[in-house]
């Protein structure tokens, strides 16, 4: 079982609140640094009852050595759309990759992050800055999302 973290022990810059009757959570992250990635800002709302609804907006800076391995954005197939807007390219590396896209241009990619694998290659030189947004929903409570929330602070 995952260790529960109280609001008093959360890392500096993280605010996390469970919604009434445990129907979901709201999380705000500012200036959180992990694995050469600085999350300048993140806002996430998760509602799991009576339907599952997740909205997530992040501004991230990827420094040299940072990478995001292949992954999907949810633990079970739910409907969704993700947007990755490149604000600044790294001098080398830091390329966004996705199995299948809805729309892709030089700086903007719209894709279904819950169904298709996506990643960011290792930043070899410079800094990659991006704005990432996602909207995910299902017309029922999603048990896998409920389990994920149980392990979050």
Domains, the chain, with CATH or none: 12-151 (2.60.120.10)
**Number of H helices and number of E strands within the chain?**
1, 13
Dig out the tokens for 146 from the structure. 């409920």
Please answer whether residues 82 and 56 qualify as being in contact, where contact means their C-beta atoms are separated by less than 8 angstroms.
no
Whether the predicted model's global pTM rises above the 0.75 cut:
no
* pLDDT for position 71: 87
Q: How many CB atoms lie within 10 A of CB 68?
A: 17
- The whole-chain average pLDDT of the chain stands at 76
Q: CA–CA separation, 142 vs 149, rounded Å?
A: 11
User: SS3 for 27?
Assistant: strand
Dig out the tokens for 81 from the structure. 């759309």
- Name, in order, each residue with C-beta under 8 angstroms of 67's C-beta and a sequence gap of 6 or more: 93, 119, 120, 121, 122, 123
Please answer whether residues 124 and 63 qualify as being in contact, where contact means their C-beta atoms are separated by less than 8 angstroms.
no
Q: How many CB atoms lie within 10 A of CB 63?
A: 16
* pLDDT for position 137: 78
User: What digits encode the pLDDT tens for the residues 47-71?
Assistant: 776 777 788 888 999 999 999 999 8
* pLDDT for position 8: 41
Please answer whether residues 29 and 37 qualify as being in contact, where contact means their C-beta atoms are separated by less than 8 angstroms.
no
Q: What is the mean pLDDT of residues 60-85?
A: 83
User: SS3 for 52?
Assistant: strand
Q: CA–CA separation, 139 vs 77, rounded Å?
A: 12
Q: What is the mean pLDDT of residues 80-90?
A: 92
């Amino acid at each position: 079982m995952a260790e529960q973290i109280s609001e008093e022990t959360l890392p500096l810059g993280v605010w996390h609140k469970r919604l009434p009757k445990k129907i979901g959570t709201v999380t705000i992250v500012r200036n959180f640094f992990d694995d050469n990635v600085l999350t300048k800002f993140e806002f996430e709302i998760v509602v799991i009852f009576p339907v599952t609804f997740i909205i997530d907006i992040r501004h991230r800076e990827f420094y040299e050595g940072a990478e995001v391995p292949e992954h999907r954005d949810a633990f079970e197939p739910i409907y969704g759309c993700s947007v990755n807007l490149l604000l600044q390219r790294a001098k080398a590396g830091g390329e966004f990759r996705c199995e299948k896209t809805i729309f892709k241009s030089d700086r903007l990619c719209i894709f279904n992050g819950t169904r298709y694998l996506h990643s960011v290659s290792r930043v070899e030189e410079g800094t990659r800055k991006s704005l990432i947004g996602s909207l995910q929903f299902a017309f029922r409570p999603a048990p896998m999302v409920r389990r994920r929330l149980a392990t979050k602070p």
